Amino acid sequence: MIEPRDIVFEADAVSALFEILNIMTDQLMEGNMVSRWDAEAVVDLQMRLSGLEEGEAVQIGIDDAALLLDGMAFTEVMSVDFPFFEMVQWTSDFVTAELRSHWSEELWLAYVGR
């Protein structure tokens, strides 16, 4: 875990993150995206988020956040033709703002540039 943070997510954010992780898991089980996503990292993140009580913190690293953002981007692209696409976009904006806010722009740039 890189640059870990203890983060308290709103219940809606946890639900959105689980949806993203479930889509990622489905893709991995179908044999897709195995070269892009680490299945072990996806499952580990699912386990850390499962069973969180309201107001309970979970430790998330910038690498976990980047994994979630990549999964979310995949989900957004794959749902562009669905009637609920606007909801997907709203959720993407919400999750992106929530996740990115825990690390400085400098840390994000350093992580991406590594």
pLDDT in tens, 68-93: 999 988 887 777 777 777 777 777 88
Tell me the β-bridge partners of 58: 7
Q: Which residue has the tokens 């072990």?
A: 40
- Inter-CA distances, 52 with 72, 81, 83, 96, Å: 21, 33, 31, 20
| pLDDT at 15 (0 to 100) | 84
More confident residue, 33 or 85: 33
Which pTM was predicted? Answer: 0.86
Q: Residue 62: exposed, middle, or buried by beta-carbon count in 10 A (0-12, 13-18, 19+)?
A: buried
